[in-house]
Amino acid sequence: MSELTIKLETVDPVEFFGFNNNKLKILKKEFNRLNISARGNKIIVAGSQEDLEIFSEKVHQLVEYLERYGKISDQHIEEILHGRNPYETNFPQFQDNVLVYGNNGTLVRARTENQQKLVDSSENNDILFAIGPAGTGKTYTAVALAVRALKNKSVKKIILTRPAVEAGESLGFLPGDLKEKIDPYLRPLYDALDDMIPPDKLAYYMQNRVIEVAPLAYMRGRTLDNAFMILDEAQNATTLQLKMFLTRIGPSAQCIITGDMTQIDLPKNQQSGLKKTMQILDGIEGIGMVHLSAEDVVRHRLVKDIIKAFDKDAEREQHFKNN
């Protein structure tokens, strides 16, 4: 008799085993010649080598399904165990435009025409600029695309970065260690990840550097391959910083740069390099550019009106300056 231990590192054991181990009981019933027990996030199995190999293959398929969708029903367990394709009968609300099945069955998908353009353009370009005002979902959609690529195993890691602009405060005077000082600038990226990946799995990814969230300065000197890279708030990066980031990309990497030209937080003696970088790179095959507008705002209904009011005021000021 042989023994096998399978560690569930990338999925939530509670979701895998089920309430009161009801999903584990399905496995035990199907593999009744094996002695199967669960301890924490481990499955310990004893039996013949042939049965163990079949069991291990089926568990791998169950884990792969759970990684992709974040949840698994008794029906889909049965389908996988009996060799049927569970992806054909997935969730009733399954549609082609779903990017990620988030936590608690949340469907993450493009919600506006320009968000869908962002998704489509990402499939045809290795480098993509997504430019638009606050609330248009550019960062959220970019993170969803990165998570989808990781779940589909088309990349091995996700790199999320932002310029750590002090906005009037010096990092040296903020409390805590370096991570505690920087994390507030990166919070929107964490928030998006929290929506799309179960907490235990996200903690595993972060601990093992499958997902990295770091300030832009930490990208210098690296070559990132088999990775999905996102530079958020790129309007707060200089031309040299953007050049540095874009030249980190390896042969099998993809990156999205998001920015809002109306919210530049750089000191007065520094200029945003986003607009100039886009002008320099315009027309290069493999580099796409998508512009979102106030019509793509998916926050509170008043946010769209607020953006339009500020845009109108900016146009009025520019008119007075020119006359």
Which one-letter DSSP state was computed for residue 323?
-
Q: CA-CA distance, 241 to 96, in Å (whole number)?
A: 37
Q: CA-CA distance, 291 to 280, in Å (whole number)?
A: 17
Sketch out the chain's domains with CATH numbers: 2-89 (3.30.1370.10), 98-322 (3.40.50.300)
**Pick from 10-14, 140-144, 297-301: least confident:** 297-301
Q: CA-CA distance, 223 to 171, in Å (whole number)?
A: 27
Which 3-state string (H, E, C) describes 141-170?
A: HHHHHHHHHHHCCCCCEEEEEECCCCCCCC
Mean pLDDT along residues 133-162: 90
| pLDDT at residue 167, as a whole number | 38
Total Cβ atoms within 10 A of residue 49: 9
| pLDDT tens by residue, 117-133 | 999 999 999 999 999 98
Highest mean pLDDT (candidates 45-49, 74-78, 104-108, 220-224): 45-49
| pLDDT at residue 181, as a whole number | 59
| pLDDT tens by residue, 10-55 | 778 888 898 888 999 999 999 999 999 998 889 999 999 999 999 9
pTM over cut 0.85:
no
Tokens (6 digits) for 41: 């996030």
Cα dihedral 100, 103, 105, 111, rounded to 10, equals: -50
Mean pLDDT along residues 105-117: 82
- Asked whether the predicted pLDDT for residue 164 surpasses 80, the reply is no
